[in-house]
């Protein structure tokens, strides 16, 4: 009923996702106050600067005691396992994670025939991100469900399937580095009572199924006969992964539960041997948390098959998102519940904050170096950035403010490498939330939304004193910001119609904008294109790797699920359109000509109209050919005319 009332008030799925955690926070606040008060280290007045000191447990018994103390506040330990008090995981929930920077990943030595081709959209140049489709300029690597397919892709006349790799688990993502293909997959296995190695004692709960995350490295020097060279697994589920030069870094999470009086410690398996992580190797911060999680970071050299993987485990809360630079991994962990925080001379009761952890990575060296915290909750990985020795982060915070009750505010914090706050900008767009953020050197572009879209330009040249340079208010919002060049920014999100019924807006079709920030004090929207009506959707709204952009070619392309209304009758902005088409929208984009639709490509003419296997999920180019990929087909079109050149069935 609560959901129906929210939808009736015009809240989108994102709005509902935000409202529900708020209601839960309010509902459990009184309970949380009683429970947390039992642990003097939780409800307390703390200063705004970061705490340091990632510790290590001295024994298994100390780890168990720590979890028991924490879980007494938030869990009921039952014979069959824990039952958690419901609580929000993160806030706000993004409708559209921001997309990747214009520069592409330059992972070690990825070259193929010196062809010009698009790489995976990534956030940081030189830090590659796993995706379900990869290319090296001559071949395509496509993953879906439990299969990885290798195709000869260029030239299009020679396109064909070369080989298929059948896996035991579901593929999460791929990396390609020279003649190495790295496959990350999740699978369930029967839990073993005893370890395969006597090197360490493994304390295991009763037999049952447990989830494992595998990293498989294949030699693909012969694309027709990929050969498995390495298989490294960690028990837990996928959190994130990156590749820097010859190393792939994978983060896996595993709930830290006490079941039948014992803790199932994280395990890593390679060379056929299972190794349990000793409690004395696990780092932690001495603070209780609602839901403790073992986060294991694995560093694996994908070329040196004899080199053992290195890994580090940290006991954290329910991790939210991760940002990775060339040197550091930053993990964000949202925390909820009433808490007094002293900011300057003002005491504020905040309802959520974010713990931050910096882990230094270099090759296979992994070192947990710092921890800190900021008020509010991080939206996604693009809300964080490292630049010239500083870490910048944007958050949306909710706090109690007098008789007005709970209010939301948006903030930007600058931290040093010890994760101490050294600069801040708080209170932006009260009662709105962040929908997207983008850091570009000494600037941050920020979008908040409730009824209209304030697009902020923030100056970060002085890290101790960030300031707003200009803002622009327009209808709709941008849920993803992508740099076009130093003076222009692309935004993708939804158009919106301000509601007459209240302080909210009705989302409409997908909106692409081009912003001119040449005059930072007066940003302008110089072009926009709206696709479809209410209900129109795109994978690019929630997965930045589905967004294709190339400035030299003035190319922008996204997959779209098109919904249209019958315009012969007057319709209310709340009404959803009917789905009529799915495929790729291909645009010409430039500051001079704006956004011009060049054409559309679909795979639906090859199969049942609404069979999802024919939905285009990724778009890329090699030389003068545009490739669109669904689970059933790889289609090749001339990049200039969009005329079909060939297709391959998967």
Considering only 39-53, 181-195, 527-541, 611-625, which range has the smallest mean pLDDT?
39-53
Characterize the bridge pairing of strands 282-284 and 55-56.
antiparallel
Burial group, residue 520, by CB count within 10 angstroms (0-12, 13-18, 19+): middle
Q: At what angle do helices 13-37 and 60-74 cross, to 10 degrees?
A: 110
Q: Using pLDDT thresholds of 50, 70 and 90, give the confidence band for residue 575.
A: very high
**CA 417 to the chain's CA centroid:** 22
pLDDT, tens digit (0-9, with 9 covering 90-100), for 162-219: 999 999 999 999 999 999 999 999 988 876 544 434 344 444 444 467 899 999 999 9
Mean pLDDT, range 511-528, rounded to an integer: 96
Lowest mean pLDDT among 214-223, 324-333, 344-353, 397-406: 344-353
User: Sorting pLDDT into bands at 50, 70 and 90, what band is 312?
Assistant: very high
Tokens of 350: 């905040």
H or E element in which residue 60 lies: helix 60-74
Both tokens assigned to 203? 């304390």
pLDDT classification of 450: cutoffs 50, 70, 90: confident
What is the pLDDT at residue 55?
85
CA distances 111 to 122, 137, 177, 250, Å, are 18, 7, 9, 24
Q: How far apart are CA 150 and CA 143, in angstroms?
A: 9
* Averaged pLDDT for residues 574-580: 92
Beta strands in 170-208 (DSSP E): 170-177, 180-190
What whole-number percentage of the chain has pLDDT above 90?
Answer: 64
Residues with Cβ < 8 Å from 90, sequence gap 6 or more?
21, 318, 320, 334, 377
Of 48-57, 82-91, 375-384, where does mean pLDDT reach its minimum? 82-91
Residue 76 has pLDDT above 50, yes or no: no
pTM: 0.83
Q: Is the pLDDT of residue 46 over 50?
A: no
Q: Residue 451: what pLDDT?
A: 66
Lowest mean pLDDT among 205-219, 222-236, 337-351, 636-650: 337-351
Gap between the Cα atoms of 199 and 218, Å rounded: 29
Give the lowest-confidence range in 135-144, 414-423, 465-474, 503-512: 503-512
Beta strand 365-375 with 346-362 is: antiparallel
Nearest to 548 by CA among 124, 106, 133: 133
Q: Which residues are bridge partners to 341 per DSSP?
A: 46, 348
Mean pLDDT of 348-357: 80
Q: Read off the pLDDT band of 78 (50, 70, 90).
A: very low
pLDDT value of position 608:
56
Across 335-363, average pLDDT: 73
The rounded mean pLDDT for the chain is 82
For residue 436, pLDDT beyond 50 = yes
Determine the average pLDDT of the residues in 448-469: 91
Say which residues have a Cβ less than 8 Å from residue 346's Cβ, sequence separation at least 6.
none
Q: How confident is the model at residue 609 (pLDDT cuts 50, 70, 90)?
A: low
Q: H-helix or E-strand containing 18? A: helix 13-37
CB 220 within 8 A of CB 150: yes
The C-alpha atoms of residue 342 and residue 48 are separated, in whole angstroms, by 6
- Cβ–Cβ < 8 Å for 577, 532: yes
SS3 state at 461 = coil
Would you state the pLDDT for residue 94?
Answer: 34
Per-residue confidence band for 111, with pLDDT thresholds at 50, 70 and 90 = very low
pLDDT at 273 over 50: yes
Taking the CB of residue 632, how many other CB atoms lie within 10 A of it?
A: 18
Q: Are 372 and 421 in contact (CB under 8 A)?
A: yes
d(CA 373, CA 421): 8
Candidate from 240-254, 509-523, 556-570 with smallest mean pLDDT = 556-570
Both tokens assigned to 611: 């069979």
Q: How far apart are CA 449 and CA 411, in angstroms?
A: 14
Which token pair is 377?
């909750």
Nearest to 589 by CA among 547, 628, 549, 531: 549
The distance in angstroms from the start CA to the end CA of the chain is 44
- Is the backbone peptide bond immediately before 634 cis, with ω within 30 degrees of 0? no
Question: According to the 3-state scheme, what is the secondary structure of 69-93?
Answer: HHHHHHEEEECCEEEECCCCCCCCC
Residue-level pLDDT at 174: 98
């Amino acid at each position: 009923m609560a959901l129906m009332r929210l939808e009736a008030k015009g809240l989108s799925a994102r709005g509902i996702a935000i409202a529900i955690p708020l209601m839960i926070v309010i509902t459990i606040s009184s309970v949380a106050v009683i429970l947390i008060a039992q642990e003097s280290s939780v409800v307390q007045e703390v200063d705004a600067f970061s705490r340091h000191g990632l510790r290590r447990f001295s024994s298994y018994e100390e780890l168990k005691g720590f979890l028991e103390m924490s879980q007494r506040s938030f869990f009921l330990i039952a014979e069959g396992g824990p039952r958690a008090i419901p609580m929000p995981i993160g806030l706000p929930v993004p409708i559209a994670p921001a997309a990747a920077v214009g520069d592409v990943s330059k992972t070690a030595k990825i070259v193929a025939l010196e062809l010009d081709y698009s790489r995976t959209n990534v956030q940081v140049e030189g830090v590659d991100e796993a995706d379900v489709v990869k290319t090296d300029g001559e071949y395509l690597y496509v993953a879906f469900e439990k299969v990885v397919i290798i195709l000869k892709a260029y030239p299009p006349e020679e396109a064909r399937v070369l080989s298929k790799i059948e896996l035991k688990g579901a593929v999460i993502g791929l990396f390609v580095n020279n003649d190495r293909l790295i496959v990350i997959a999740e699978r369930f296995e029967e839990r073993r009572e005893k370890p395969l190695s006597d090197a360490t004692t493994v304390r295991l709960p009763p037999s049952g199924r447990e989830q494992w995350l595998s990293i498989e490295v294949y030699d693909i020097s012969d694309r027709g006969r990929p050969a498995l060279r390495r298989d490294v697994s960690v028990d837990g589920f996928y959190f994130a992964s990156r590749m820097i030069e010859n190393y792939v870094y994978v983060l896996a999470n595993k709930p830290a539960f006490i079941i039948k009086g014992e803790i199932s410690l994280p395990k890593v398996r390679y060379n056929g041997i299972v190794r349990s992580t000793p409690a004395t190797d696990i780092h932690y911060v001495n603070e209780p948390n609602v839901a403790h999680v073992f986060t294991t970071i694995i560093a694996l050299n994908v070329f040196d098959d004899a080199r053992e993987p290195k890994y580090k485990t940290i006991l954290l809360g329910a991790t939210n998102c991760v940002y990775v630079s060339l040197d550091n991994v930053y993990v964000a962990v949202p925390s909820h519940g009433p808490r007094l925080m002293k900011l300057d001379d003002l005491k504020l009761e905040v309802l959520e904050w974010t713990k931050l952890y910096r882990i230094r990575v270099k090759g296979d060296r992994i070192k947990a170096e710092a921890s800190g915290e900021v008020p509010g909750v991080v939206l996604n990985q693009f809300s964080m950035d490292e630049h010239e020795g500083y870490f910048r982060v944007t958050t949306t915070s909710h706090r109690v403010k007098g008789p007005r009750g709970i209010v939301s505010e948006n903030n930007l914090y600058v931290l040093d490498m010890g994760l101490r706050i050294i600069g801040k900008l708080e209170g932006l767009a009260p009662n709105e939330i962040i929908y997207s953020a983008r850091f570009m050197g000494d600037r941050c572009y920020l979008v908040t939304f409730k009824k209209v879209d304030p697009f902020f330009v923030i100056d970060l040249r002085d890290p101790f004193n960030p300031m707003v340079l200009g803002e622009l208010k327009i209808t709709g919002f941008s849920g993803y910001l992508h740099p076009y060049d130093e003076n222009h920014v692309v935004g993708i999100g939804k158009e919106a119609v301000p509601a007459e019924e209240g302080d909210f807006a009705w989302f409409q079709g997908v909106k692409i904008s081009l912003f001119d920030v040449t005059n930072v004090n007066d940003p302008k929207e110089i072009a926009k294109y709206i696709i479809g009506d209410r209900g129109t959707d795109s994978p690019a709204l929630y997965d930045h790797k589905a967004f294709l952009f190339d400035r030299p070619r003035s190319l922008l392309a996204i997959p779209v699920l098109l919904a249209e209304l019958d315009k012969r009758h007057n319709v209310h902005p709340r009404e959803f359109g009917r789905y009529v088409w799915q495929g790729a929208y291909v645009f010409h984009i430039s500051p001079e000509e704006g956004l011009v639709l060049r054409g559309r490509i679909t795979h639906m003419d090859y199969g049942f109209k609404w069979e999802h296997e024919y939905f285009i999920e990724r778009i890329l180019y090699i030389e003068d050919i545009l490739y669109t990929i669904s689970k059933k087909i790889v289609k090749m079109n001339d990049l200039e005319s969009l005329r079909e050149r060939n297709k391959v069935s998967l």
